Amino acid sequence: IAGITQAPTSQILAAGRRMTLRCTQDMRHNAMYWYRQDLGLGLRLIHYSNTAGTTGKGEVPDGYSVSRANTDDFPLTLASAVPSQTSVYFCASSDSSRDRIIHFGNGTRLTVT
């Protein structure tokens, strides 16, 4: 089934540890995104990429980094996790030259203790 796969589904992480959230899409979309969702704050954009090899900062990029080595993969790395990074993380993708619909993965629930 075509779509976006995120891993892990959930994770408990000690503060100060490094963590990479994985995201793979098989729809050949050019654009990919990472959002975090917190109660009362909605979905906030962390980083995005419009094509392989390029990335950009969103609304809340501090403490996160991304890379886009190819079209399909867009990992999100927390270099040194802090409790305020406890959140649900959604990876998403879109074909920005066609229908511009953003498709979301099922999310990763991350708890930093």
Partner 1 sequence: QQPVQSPQAVILREGEDAVINCSSSKALYSVHWYRQKHGEAPVFLMILLKGGEQKGHEKISASFNEKKQQSSLYLTASQLSYSGTYFCGTESTRGATNKLIFGTGTLLAVQP
Taking a C-beta distance cutoff of 8 angstroms, is the pair 72, 25 a contact?
yes
**C-alpha neighbours within 13 Å on the C-beta side of residue 78:** 25
What mask, x for binding partner 1 by CB under 8 A, covers residues 16 to 55? --------------xx-x-x----xxxxxx--xxxx----
- Tokens linked to 42: 């909605």
Asked whether position 59 contacts partner 1 by CB under 8 A, the answer is yes
Q: In angstroms, rounded to a whole number, what is the distance separating the alpha carbons of residues 76 and 49?
A: 12
Quick one: which of 64, 74, 90, 108 contacts partner 1 (CB under 8 A)? 90
Q: Which helix (H) or strand (E) holds 104?
A: strand 103-104
9 binds partner 1 (CB under 8 A): no
Query: Binding of partner 1 at residue 7 (CB under 8 A)?
Result: no
> Does 74 participate in binding partner 1 (rule CB under 8 A)?
no
Contact 95, 74 (CB under 8 A): no
Which stretches of the chain bind partner 1, using CB under 8 A?
A: 30-31, 33, 35, 40-45, 48-51, 56, 58-59, 90, 94, 96, 99-107
